Amino acid sequence: MDKKAYRERMRRKKRQMMIRRYTRLAAYAAALVLVCVFVVRGIIIPIAHWVGGKEPGETVPVQAQTAEADPDAAIRQPLKGQGDLSKASEMTAGWHEDENGRWYQNADGTYFSSGLQDIDGVTYCFDDNGYIQTGWVTKGVKDLYFNDDGSYNPEMKRKMIALTYDDGPGEYTQTLLDCLEENNAHATFFMVGPNVQAYPDAPKRMLELGCELGNHTWDHYQLTTLTLDAAVKEVTDTDDALIEACGQASTVVRAPYGDYNQSIIDAVGKPFFMWSLDSLDWQYKDADLDYNEIMNGDLSDGTIILMHDIHEPSVQASLRIIPELVAQGYKLVTVSELAAAKGVTLQNASYTDFWDSTLASGSVAGYEGNTTEDTSGEDGTSEDGISDGSDSESDDYSDGTDDYSDGEDSYSDGSDGSGEDSYSDGEDGYSDSSDSESYSDGG
Ligand code: NI
């Protein structure tokens, strides 16, 4: 072994020893850190807590009080401004105001947030940060109005309308969806299977926008001319196409030509929807005429409008109608949202509109007011006026909408409570052969 090789070997050995030494040092350092952590967490912090009068491991008690039965009810949050102790100590129970708005502190130091709360007989709505809200506030399926001082105003009722579009989707549907999105509006689309297959992105986007998927069968046949099994297959085939396109089946059905019977509804097992205002767009094919037909029509709270998104003029008319209705204060909702807002639990039945007069007639299946003997016993608490659907008859009467008394007369004979009434209404107001035209044009 020559000198060079020997030196090389020594150098390697030295390096090895150095590495070993550093490794050992690193291990010591790591052990020291662990010991420090243990001492601080296990001994010093508990002692500090004990000295400070707190239990070890205690965190800030964010015990957001669970709302009881009413999901819209406010919850109690721990004291506002908890971090700022000097400020908090000066705060007293009652109303407070800062640069963000007004909020209410309870005697126990909590404050209300995220819901409705009665204070001194007045209902307020608190946002997630505990400040009172004013103007229109959406609670569940309803919009409630709060005055500038934050008090709930039961006189203000946002009228609701359900726009429905049949026979699509089509090449103009995305334009319509753009408009709905811009206006924060919802609609219901009664679609035929082949068009779902042709435009699978449309139902996907409808769901994203909060629109409702409706089923308008596969072949657009008159269902009453088919066997029950064939009628059901018409619906399930389109549901399969919807599931394929967007992962969800339809929730509601519209029978082609408004032609159905109770056996078909029962066999299909979904709510069927007619309409109370026909735009006649399938006949006009003219955006101005479509527009006039709707804007001059009966736009009472609870109206269901029929249009067809396979026609370009219908979509062009909608681009004007939607923002205008919103500007007029309407809330544009799906048929199921409309039903829920009116206190109707949808059944396997047919629905034509959710006007106060129709609800009062007792002919709407699943309307909670149907089973109530007398809801006129007003106890004066605003709670009742708000809670989802329970402001049924008494409120609807007292709010004295113009169309109510008219509507009552026209519905007074339809009080036998069956779904057949709404059916015959819809059928009469509809010229069946023309829808066939409308469909074949689009198909
Ligand atoms: Ni149709």
* Residue 164 scores a pLDDT above 70: yes
115: part of which helix (H) or strand (E)? strand 115-119
Identify which has the larger pLDDT, 203 or 368.
203
Helix or strand holding residue 340 (H, E): helix 335-341
- Cα(178) to centroid of ligand 1, in Å? 23
For the segment 180-186, the average pLDDT, to the nearest whole number, is 98
CA torsion sign for 6, 8, 13, 17 is positive
3-state DSSP assignment of residue 368: helix
pLDDT tens for each residue of 369-384: 876 444 443 343 333 3
pTM of the model: 0.66
User: Cβ–Cβ contacts within 10 Å for residue 442, how many?
Assistant: 21
Burial class (CB in 10 A: 0-12, 13-18, 19+), 106: middle
| Residue 45: CB atoms within 10 Å | 13
Query: Given pLDDT bands bounded at 50, 70 and 90, which one contains residue 71?
Result: confident
pLDDT digits (tens, 9 = 90+) for 336-350: 999 999 999 999 999
Antiparallel, parallel or unpaired: β 94-98 and 101-105: antiparallel
pLDDT at 225 over 90: yes
Structure tokens at 52: 């400070």
Contacts of 303 (CB under 8 A, 6+ apart): 161, 162, 276, 277, 297, 353, 355
How is residue 413 written in tokens? 């004979």
Q: What value does the mean pLDDT of the chain take? A: 79
Question: Residue 344's closest CA among 372, 318, 371, 369?
Answer: 369
User: CA 197 → CA 126, 207, 257, distances in Å?
Assistant: 45, 16, 22
Minimal CA–CA distance to 77: which of 110, 101, 102, 44?
Answer: 110
Q: How far apart are CA 263 and CA 270, in angstroms?
A: 12
Q: What SS3 state is found at 373?
A: coil
Distance from residue 217's CA to the centre of ligand 1 (Å): 9
pLDDT at 249 exceeding the cut of 70:
yes
pLDDT at 200: 98
Percent share of the chain, pLDDT over 90: 54
Q: Who has greater pLDDT, 372 or 72?
A: 72
Distance from the alpha carbon of residue 308 to the mean position of ligand 1, in angstroms = 8
Indicate which residues carry an active-site annotation: 166, 308
Find tokens 């109370």 and name the residue.
276
Ligand 1 mean position to 433 CA, how many Å? Answer: 10
Least Cα distance to 442 among 213, 250, 241, 192 occurs for 192
**Distance from C-alpha of 334 to C-alpha of 79, rounded to nearest angstrom:** 40
In this structure, of 21-25, 290-294, 433-437, the range with the lowest mean pLDDT score is: 433-437
Distance CA 326, CA 11 (A): 85
- Token look-up 């007398």 returns 374
Report the half-sphere exposure of 405 (CA within 13 A, side-chain side).
4
Ligand 1 center from residue 436 Cα (angstroms): 7
CA 259 to ligand 1 centroid distance, Å? 10
Cα(430) to ligand 1 centroid in Å equals 11
What residue type is 320 in one-letter code?
R
Given a cut of 50, whether residue 422 has pLDDT beyond it is no
